[in-house]
Amino acid sequence: MAGKIIDGKFIAKKIREELASGVSSFKEKTGRAPRIDVILVGDNPASHVYVGMKEKAAAEIGIKSVKHEFPSITEKDLIELVKKLKNDREVNGILVQLPLPKDINEENVLSAITAEKDVDGFLAENLGWLCRGKERLQSCTPLGVMKMLEHESVEIEGKHAVVIGRSNIVGKPMMLMLLNKNATVTVCHSRTKDLASHTKTADILVAAAGVPEMVKANMVKDGAVVIDVGTTKVDGKLKGDVDFEGVKERTSLITPVPGGVGPMTIAMLMYNTLQAAKKQEGI
Amino acid sequence: MAGKIIDGKFIAKKIREELASGVSSFKEKTGRAPRIDVILVGDNPASHVYVGMKEKAAAEIGIKSVKHEFPSITEKDLIELVKKLKNDREVNGILVQLPLPKDINEENVLSAITAEKDVDGFLAENLGWLCRGKERLQSCTPLGVMKMLEHESVEIEGKHAVVIGRSNIVGKPMMLMLLNKNATVTVCHSRTKDLASHTKTADILVAAAGVPEMVKANMVKDGAVVIDVGTTKVDGKLKGDVDFEGVKERTSLITPVPGGVGPMTIAMLMYNTLQAAKKQEGI
């Protein structure tokens, strides 16, 4: 059985189109566009690329994005800015591009964002609501995975979902989202013994460990749905956590890297911004 | 192999003794006792019994407990009271005994508690911090399970822990606490298919489903550690989720019901109250 390849680019495009229509309707009702403010500190080249992609996506959909860029800034001034944006009714979403320079405590800065404007879904409060099954703003990458599964009509309830990786922004919210959809969920990580014994029983396998091609064909159950969140640069090429060529023969559905989960993340950031704006405006 | 029985009463007593000493030292430093305010609404007999047990435990340890008891109260007045206690510097912990009468929205009332005084560890913010691996105030029952495992020197890292049940106050925080200690964790629940296939691979099995004696000997791996959080009254007798007599032969360690996890919960409430008080006083 050769797995159908899930086309993340196509799904993300469809979502962006739906969002553009949602943004239009928001503008009609409120007379203004939803707005996301993006804070970028330092000269990390990848961060500059990501922020550029976010600005482009926002522009396409009709969301207003405002960039606050600093070659350097003190933690105190950065927190002041976040607080100002938090109290500005025109601002619907606040995104602090990570990583921040090492002399700034990320936790202190992120804590200054209010949960209502936390469009990255990183704050403890939003993660806690997700844990309680009351979804507020949710982490973009795992939310994108859920939208992909929904788009492909993957049945989640009663299935065994195995997540490899337990980061605060992917693995853990992923586990909670799958649990909220009534999957039986197992979380594996670097300390897991005999990883294959777990992955081999997975109906849905999400690899988010950041270890290139660690998931091999003999670790996957026949007919599984395999989602690859990994993106590691190896010799200038983007590699996923899944040995795609070997594994795809065993799956019913599989995401490629690139062109799988990747394009969904920014689409979900835009989704969160529109959701936040609508909630703040009570519509 | 007949499992050693974990004596929750004994461990809880030991913890209360340690807490009494911690409270003494808090009093010396601050000139006052840590204080927990307990709100009790309505005439639920079990709630009255629980609150009585909490008052007794507090008194034994030297924690001041103040009871706010109402045959009935409006949601608005109840929220006013919670807000007053939240702003009262003398009050270190606020506990609203659940369930509240049906005309009061529990979520609205609990949301009025500040995370710093949420000694039940129920608030989204505290659950979110637990999820992020930064433990603040944590739900008492699963925290009690962790203390029991620690007391019995159970190795958690790298073990497969299976939790049956996914309530917001037991199953989900339990899963997060075990994950934070580097277990590979599986969460099963009412929608899980072939429950035994999961439980049979568990090195540590925590049953928190509230279904009397659902865990049978043939569902347990030889040498497993089995923790029974279930407490259901059957013909006037307290029954756990585990068929104790059948299962204990297969385990290395097992908790009984009663006398297992039960006594730990209130001890952990006292632990949380002292922790909250110390943090608020900066000691």
Can you give the pLDDT at residue B149? 98
| Number of helical (H) and strand (E) elements in chain A, helices listed first | 10, 11
Q: Where in chain A is CATH 3.40.50.720?
A: 139-262
pLDDT-derived band of residue B70, with 50, 70 and 90 as boundaries? very high
Q: Is the pLDDT of residue A155 over 70?
A: yes
- Which pair of tokens denotes residue B20? 């009494």
Share of chain B above pLDDT 90, in %: 98
Name the residue among B185, B214, B199 with its Cα closest to residue A186: B185
pLDDT digits (tens, 9 = 90+) for A20-72: 999 999 999 999 999 999 999 999 999 999 999 999 999 999 999 999 999 99
Can you give the pLDDT at residue A45? 94
Contact B184 A182 (CB under 8 A): no
CATH, domain range B31-114: 3.40.50.10860
Contact B184 A193 (CB under 8 A): yes
Q: Is the pLDDT of residue A176 over 90?
A: yes
pLDDT-derived band of residue A2, with 50, 70 and 90 as boundaries? confident
Indicate the average pLDDT of chain A. Answer: 97
Interface of B with A in 167-186 (CB under 8 A): 168, 172, 176, 179, 182, 184-186
Cβ of residue A198 closer than 8 Å to a chain B Cβ: yes
Structural contact between residues B35 and B65, judged by C-beta atoms closer than 8 angstroms = yes
Q: Where in chain B is CATH 3.40.50.10860?
A: 31-114
Share of chain A above pLDDT 70, in %: 100
Label residue B118 exposed, middle or buried (CB < 10 Å: 0-12, 13-18, 19+): buried
CATH, domain range A31-116: 3.40.50.10860
The mean pLDDT of B221-230, rounded to a whole number, is 98
Structural contact between residues A212 and A241, judged by C-beta atoms closer than 8 angstroms = yes
Question: Looking at the partner chain, which of B182, B191, B201 has a beta carbon nearest the beta carbon of A182?
Answer: B191
H-assigned helices in chain B: 8-30, 45-61, 75-87, 106-111, 124-131, 140-151, 171-180, 195-199, 244-248, 262-281
Q: Where in chain A is CATH 3.40.50.10860?
A: 31-116
Can you give the pLDDT at residue B3? 82
Question: Looking at the partner chain, which of B125, B160, B179 has a beta carbon nearest the beta carbon of A125?
Answer: B125
pLDDT digits (tens, 9 = 90+) for A188-242: 999 999 999 999 999 999 999 999 999 999 999 999 999 999 999 999 999 999 9
Indicate the average pLDDT of chain B. Answer: 97
pLDDT digits (tens, 9 = 90+) for B81-90: 999 999 999 9
- Tracing tokens 């962790």 back to the chain, one arrives at B146
Q: Is the pLDDT of residue B1 over 70?
A: no
The CA–CA distances, whole Å, from A107 to A96, A101, A118, A138, B215 equal 11, 13, 13, 18, 42
Query: ipTM of this predicted complex?
Result: 0.96
Can you give the pLDDT at residue A1? 59
What phi and psi values does residue B279 have, to the nearest 5 degrees? -65, -45
pLDDT digits (tens, 9 = 90+) for B145-175: 999 999 999 999 999 999 999 999 999 999 9
Question: Looking at the partner chain, which of B125, B184, B192 has a beta carbon nearest the beta carbon of A188?
Answer: B184
Give the architecture-level CATH label for domain B139-261.
3-Layer(aba) Sandwich (3.40)
**Overall fold of domain A139-262:** Rossmann fold (3.40.50)
Can you give the pLDDT at residue A107? 93
pLDDT-derived band of residue A135, with 50, 70 and 90 as boundaries? confident
Contact A184 B168 (CB under 8 A): no
d(CA B207, CA B193): 16
**pTM for the complete prediction?**
0.97
Can you give the pLDDT at residue B2? 73
